[in-house]
């Protein structure tokens, strides 16, 4: 409630007429119009923000997602391979007892974390879902991969980010620290990052080849091959290699050995 204002005054001040004058028009009236204005300002300030506070029990929702990844392959966890099964089986895998509730969760709470395709009717109908990285996961993973800071951990040199760097980057995009911790939990479950408690850093820790990196390496090798396989028009540009001199006697003896054992 606004200080010094009654309900009637609020309804008059934030009326439908006032909302229609906004661009784009505001759909709500009274106190709800204030909330709509606030949400619109937040969207303008942080256009790339995708909340992880999807509901009051948001931690449990994310934990169900993380726990479901435990029995998945690395490719499935990272979204490079789909997960198929009956609707009922997939719902149970994510600790959801109702198929309808699971479908609703995919469309809402998991909208930034997976996409699904439903085939057939009923709980025994076939479904296929593909996990995907949250936008903040993609951003932090990209920053980590290109980080100039490196350290020897797990017997190899790896790029690192300090916890403070990670938090500040996420805050600049509108994320709260609680959301950043959830995202790091997701990245860890996908096998992308690890946390070094002693140094308070996160570092790249892949448990297998990453398709994105393999594609990048393949592209690099392809470019090298293209250069070396270019047709050469000018023979003079070819490098001149000189074979070592070999005596005729040695050549004849080699031929003799070849005939003897041939």
Q: What is the pLDDT of residues 106-115, one digit of tens each?
A: 999 999 999 9
pTM score, two decimals?
Answer: 0.68
Q: What is the pLDDT of residues 199-237, one digit of tens each?
A: 999 999 865 555 566 677 788 778 777 776 766 555 444
What DSSP letter does each residue of 150-204 carry, written as one string? EEEETTEEEEEEEHHHHHHHHHTTT--HHHHHHHHHHHHHTTSEEEETTTTEEEE
Q: Of 184, 178, 173, which Cα lies nearest the Cα of 49?
A: 173
Name which residue leads in pLDDT, 14 or 78: 78
- The burial class, CB within 10 Å (0-12 / 13-18 / 19+), for 222 is exposed
Q: How confident is the model at residue 10 (pLDDT cuts 50, 70, 90)?
A: very low
Q: How confident is the model at residue 258 (pLDDT cuts 50, 70, 90)?
A: very low
Structure confidence at residue 259 (pLDDT)? 44
pLDDT for residue 86 is more than 80:
yes
pLDDT for residue 146 is more than 90:
yes
């Amino acid at each position: 409630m606004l200080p010094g204002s009654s309900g009637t005054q609020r309804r008059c001040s934030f009326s439908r007429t006032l909302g229609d004058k906004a661009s784009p028009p505001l759909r709500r009236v009274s106190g709800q119009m204030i909330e709509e204005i606030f949400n619109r300002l937040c969207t303008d300030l942080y256009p790339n923000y995708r909340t992880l506070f999807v509901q009051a029990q948001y931690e449990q929702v994310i934990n169900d997602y993380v726990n479901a990844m435990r029995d998945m392959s690395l490719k499935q966890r990272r979204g490079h391979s789909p997960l198929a099964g009956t609707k009922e089986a997939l719902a149970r895998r994510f600790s959801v007892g109702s198929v309808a509730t699971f479908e609703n969760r995919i469309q809402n709470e998991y909208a930034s974390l997976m996409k699904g395709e439903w085939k057939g009717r009923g709980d025994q109908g076939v479904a296929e879902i593909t996990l995907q990285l949250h936008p903040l996961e993609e951003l932090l993973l990209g920053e980590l991969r290109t980080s100039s800071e490196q350290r020897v951990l797990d017997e190899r040199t790896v790029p690192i980010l300090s916890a403070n760097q990670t938090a500040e980057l996420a805050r600049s995009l509108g994320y709260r620290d609680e959301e950043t911790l959830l995202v790091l939990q997701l990245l860890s479950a996908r096998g992308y990052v690890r946390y070094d408690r002693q140094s308070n850093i996160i570092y790249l820790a892949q448990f297998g080849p990453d398709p994105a990196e393999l594609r990048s390496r393949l592209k690099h090798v392809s470019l090298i091959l293209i250069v070396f396989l270019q047709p050469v028009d000018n023979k003079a540009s070819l490098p001149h290699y000189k074979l070592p001199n070999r005596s005729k006697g040695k050549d004849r003896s080699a031929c003799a050995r070849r005939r003897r054992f041939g």
